[in-house]
């Protein structure tokens, strides 16, 4: 009976030590991971109007995998929370406007304001243009 009790105590002690080690490792990784805030606004360059519901995407540069995305609010502002440190591409798109694409590096600043991101309307491509001239 005494041997069984010692084995149970040893197993309990081992489980407690393992749980404590796992908890410590999880805490160390979350404390080391930096999560940053990325914010800005999107507006039309011609009319200087804010663009509501524009899509702001954060992509990984080597393979364009989507990391995070958000839509702009009614004032044209966006905010991406929990952005990890690293190099990214930022893509802003809105219907009938040319896409905005830029490289971005996020470091330990915890907050990065991109300011106003200007979008330009897309030019319409014509198949052909006919020029007529009246000769008097």
> Distances from the Cα of 92 to the Cαs of 13, 59, 102, in angstroms?
55, 11, 9
Q: How far apart are CA 90 and CA 57, in angstroms?
A: 6
If phi over 0 gives left and psi between -120 and 50 gives alpha, with beta otherwise, what is residue 48?
Answer: left
Contact indicator for 76, 39 with CB cutoff of 8 Å = no
Q: How far apart are CA 57 and CA 51, in angstroms?
A: 15
Q: What is the pLDDT along the chain (136 residues), one digit of tens a residue?
A: 445 455 567 777 777 777 666 666 665 554 445 678 999 999 998 888 999 999 999 999 999 999 999 999 999 999 999 999 999 999 999 999 999 999 999 887 778 999 999 999 987 666 788 888 888 7
């Amino acid at each position: 009976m005494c041997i069984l009790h010692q084995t149970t105590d040893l197993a309990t002690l081992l489980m407690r030590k393992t749980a404590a080690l796992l908890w410590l490792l999880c805490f160390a990784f979350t404390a080391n991971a930096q999560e940053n805030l990325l914010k800005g606004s999107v507006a039309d360059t011609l009319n200087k109007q804010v663009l509501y519901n524009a899509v702001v995407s954060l992509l990984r540069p080597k393979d364009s995998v989507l990391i995070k995305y958000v839509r702009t609010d009614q004032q044209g502002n966006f905010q991406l929370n929990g952005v990890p440190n690293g190099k990214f591409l930022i893509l802003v798109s809105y219907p009938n406007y040319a896409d905005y694409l830029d490289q971005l590096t996020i470091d330990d600043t915890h907050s990065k304001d991109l300011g106003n991101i200007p979008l330009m309307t897309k030019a319409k491509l014509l198949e052909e243009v006919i020029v007529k001239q009246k000769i008097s």
